[in-house]
Structure formats: structure tokens, C-alpha cells
Amino acid sequence: MDVANKVDICKVVAQAILSDAQITDEERAFLDKLMARYELDPAQRKDVLLRNVGDDPAELVRGIVDPAAREETLRELARAVATDGVLAAAEEELLGRVAAALEIPAAKVEDLIADAVLES
């Protein structure tokens, strides 16, 4: 997966943790670990963190065309929103919109959410 896809995935995750207007320590730590695992440099990390509450995560994923990166995006997004142990209605709706934008089938979304909740 290329660096641009990694940055885009992190942007979507950052936006997702903003979606319920509460950023927990666990969510912040998750994002930090994800950016470290993807080896993002300081400029890329800054770009990731420049999210606004009104940004649309579904629009952020439109540039991700690699099928593996698309699934990775939804997987990391599901993990991020499950990190605080609560899957809020807004977070679930966000996952559905992002999955639709990524053209990932609903059954796959349900599996990724279930796996993410089990991991949290």
C-alpha cells in the first residue's frame, strides 16, 4: 500500500473519532499507533490531524482505489470507533456511509464491525 493511501486511511480514522464529538485517550492512542505503524513523517501526521468536525469521511475515501487499501480503511475505521468500547449510532452510520463510498458490501461491513468490537 502506498503512502498516500496510508495518509488517507489515517485521515478517515481521525475524522471518525471526531464523529461523536468526544475523543477518548484510547482513541487518540489508537490513531497515534496507527500513524506510527504506517511510518508517517511529522508533516504527514500534521496533515492527518487537520480534521474539522464537518469534514465528510465518505469524501475522504473517494481517492482510495486499491481494493486492499479500501478494505484496510474500513477495518481500521471499525477498530477506531470500537476502541472506546461503545459503538455510537453516529459511528455506525459513519461506517455505513464510508463502506458505501468504498463499495464494500454490507455483509463485509458487519463482519468488520463484529471483529473490531471483539478486539476492543
Q: Which pLDDT tens digit goes with each residue over 44-74?
A: 999 998 877 677 888 888 888 888 899 889 8
Number of domain units in the chain: 1
Cell numbers at residue 7, please? 495518509
Please state, in angstroms and rounded to a whole number, the distance separating the CA atoms of residues 90 and 98: 12
Is 12 a residue whose pLDDT tops 70?
yes
Please state, in angstroms and rounded to a whole number, the distance separating the CA atoms of residues 83 and 60: 21
Distance of CA 47 to the CA centre of its chain: 15
Please state, in angstroms and rounded to a whole number, the distance separating the CA atoms of residues 89 and 62: 23
Distances (CA, A) of 19 to 40, 47, 92, 94, 111: 23, 18, 10, 8, 21
Cell numbers at residue 98, please? 464510508
- Domain span including residue 41: 3-119
pLDDT-based confidence at 109, cuts 50/70/90? confident
Is 20 a residue whose pLDDT tops 70?
no
- Backbone phi and psi for residue 29, each to the nearest 5 degrees, phi listed first: -65, -40
Please state, in angstroms and rounded to a whole number, the distance separating the CA atoms of residues 74 and 28: 18
Regarding pTM above 0.85, the answer is no
For residue 21, the domain's CATH number is 1.10.3680.10
